[in-house]
């Protein structure tokens, strides 16, 4: 197990190196530059040249890339061109919001998707099966931003049940410890602050969960159908085992392996930032900030954020790989 973890972590080094090289080349190929974002179209050539010199963008590309790698090894991600704050500070301020939104979306997707997919497989060809398959197709086809606007218009603006924007009501005056608003409210026993933060997560969490929910339903249904046709399930039924035992020990445990893989990939993708959802609900996360940084050509933020997200994505999927041995005891990490 330890050797497997070490090997996967070592594989992260060439992955990050290749990603940093591709990202560096891509950013330098973008039209315009940070001087255009800072000065606009009215900046003189002398002013543009001065900004490029101060940012080190007039040096050879290899020297710029080497300087970036040295700073990356020292965990120094630089300073944002737009906000003049350290990239690490910007990330730590916004990433907790994205984590809370991702956890909310995945809890909804997993809590509904796995039971619904299992029931659809057990009732194949019946009404529930048709409804789940049709609903999953609709969930995949509907754009997230469109669903977000619909939810916001109905439940926030018309009915007034949920807040329309932000992570928390600023008038509450909650204590900040970790920037995880729900966790901070629980740690400080400010129950109204924790409840308000959870209430702000409902609508964006539902919108963001639509596609993962549809995928989990379909994968769970297909995996359960495949396992139900295996010989060991028919043998268990012939032995007279109860349906609860067959479901728990034989069907779900074997059917969850592809579902767990999908959950890991979906979670890693959501952690990279939900740009559209965060924009619709004015949710302070890394997705909306990355979109702003692209328009402003904020190279340090883009490089730093994407590199950190890549590490998080690999670690999430490493945890999923290790969870295989807990789901199915026949699977062992060698």
| Model confidence band, residue 148 (pLDDT cutoffs 50, 70, 90) | confident
Higher pLDDT, 145 or 12: 145
User: Does 52 reside within a domain?
Assistant: yes
184 in the same domain as 42: no
240 in the same domain as 131: yes
d(CA 116, CA 119) in angstroms, rounded, equals: 5
Cβ pair 18, 27 in contact under 8 A? no
User: Does 78 reside within a domain?
Assistant: no
Q: Can you spell out the DSSP letters for 97-108?
A: HHHHHHHHHHHH
Q: Give the lowest-confidence range in 169-183, 191-205, 286-300, 320-334.
A: 320-334
Cβ pair 57, 283 in contact under 8 A? no
pLDDT in tens, 242-268: 666 777 666 777 777 788 878 878 887
Query: How far is residue 282 CA from its own chain's centroid?
Result: 17
d(CA 143, CA 56) in angstroms, rounded, equals: 40
User: Does 79 reside within a domain?
Assistant: no
User: Does 307 reside within a domain?
Assistant: no
What is the mean predicted confidence (pLDDT) over 116-134?
84
Higher pLDDT, 39 or 204: 204
Higher pLDDT, 211 or 9: 211
50 in the same domain as 107: no
Name which of 116, 138, 113 is nearest 128 in CA terms: 116
What is the mean predicted confidence (pLDDT) over 192-210?
88
183 in the same domain as 153: yes
105 in the same domain as 57: no
d(CA 38, CA 48) in angstroms, rounded, equals: 9
User: Does 306 reside within a domain?
Assistant: no
114 in the same domain as 65: no
What is the model's pTM?
0.77
Q: Could you list the beta-strand ranges (E) of the chain.
A: none
Question: How many structural domains are present in the chain?
Answer: 2
User: Does 305 reside within a domain?
Assistant: no
The predicted structure's pLDDT at residue 32: 63
29 in the same domain as 159: no
User: Does 43 reside within a domain?
Assistant: yes
283 in the same domain as 181: yes
Quote the domain boundaries for residue 133: 92-295
| Model confidence band, residue 324 (pLDDT cutoffs 50, 70, 90) | low
The residue out of 73, 100, 127 marking a domain boundary is 73
d(CA 334, CA 326) in angstroms, rounded, equals: 14
Highest mean pLDDT among 67-71, 210-214, 275-279, 290-294: 210-214
103 in the same domain as 174: yes
d(CA 99, CA 288) in angstroms, rounded, equals: 14
Cβ pair 214, 114 in contact under 8 A? no
| DSSP 8-state symbol, 85 | S
25, 28, 49, 98 from 36: Cα distances, Å: 19, 14, 11, 29
51 in the same domain as 105: no
Helix axis angle for 299-327 and 87-122, nearest 10°, is 40
Residue 203's domain is classified under what CATH number?
1.10.3720.10
229 in the same domain as 153: yes
The residue out of 13, 41, 73 marking a domain boundary is 73
150 in the same domain as 11: no
Query: How far is residue 291 CA from its own chain's centroid?
Result: 15
User: Does 333 reside within a domain?
Assistant: no
């Amino acid at each position: 197990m330890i050797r497997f973890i070490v090997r996967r972590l070592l594989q992260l080094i060439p992955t990050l190196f290749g990603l940093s090289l591709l990202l560096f080349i891509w950013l330098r190929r973008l039209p315009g530059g940070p001087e255009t974002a800072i000065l606009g179209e009215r900046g003189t050539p002398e002013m543009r040249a001065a900004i490029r010199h101060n940012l080190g963008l007039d040096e050879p590309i290899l020297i710029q890339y080497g300087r970036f790698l040295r700073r990356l090894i020292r965990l120094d991600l630089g300073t944002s061109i737009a906000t003049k704050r350290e990239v690490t500070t910007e990330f730590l301020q916004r990433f907790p919001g994205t984590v809370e939104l991702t956890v909310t979306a995945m809890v909804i997707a997993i809590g509904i998707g796995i039971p619904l997919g299992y029931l659809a497989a057990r009732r194949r060809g019946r009404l529930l099966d048709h409804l789940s398959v049709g609903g999953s197709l609709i969930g995949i086809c509907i754009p997230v931003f469109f669903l977000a606007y619909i939810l916001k218009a109905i439940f926030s603006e018309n009915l007034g049940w949920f807040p329309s924007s932000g992570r928390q009501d600023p008038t509450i005056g909650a204590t900040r410890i970790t920037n995880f608003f729900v966790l901070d409210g629980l740690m400080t026993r400010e129950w109204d602050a924790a409840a308000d933060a959870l209430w702000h997560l409902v609508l964006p969490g539902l919108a963001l969960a639509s596609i993962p929910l549809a995928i989990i339903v379909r994968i769970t249904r297909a995996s359960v159908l495949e396992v139900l046709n295996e010989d060991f399930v028919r043998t268990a039924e012939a032995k007279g085992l109860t349906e609860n035992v067959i479901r728990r020990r034989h069907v779900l445990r074997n059917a969850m392996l592809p579902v767990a893989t999908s959950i890991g990939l979906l979670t890693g993708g959501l952690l990279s930032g939900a740009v559209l959802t965060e924009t619709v609900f004015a949710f302070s996360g890394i997705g909306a900030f990355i979109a702003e940084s692209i328009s402003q050509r904020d190279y340090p933020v883009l490089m730093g954020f994407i590199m950190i997200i890549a590490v998080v994505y690999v670690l999430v999927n490493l945890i999923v790989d290790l969870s295989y041995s807990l789901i199915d005891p026949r699977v062992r990490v060698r």
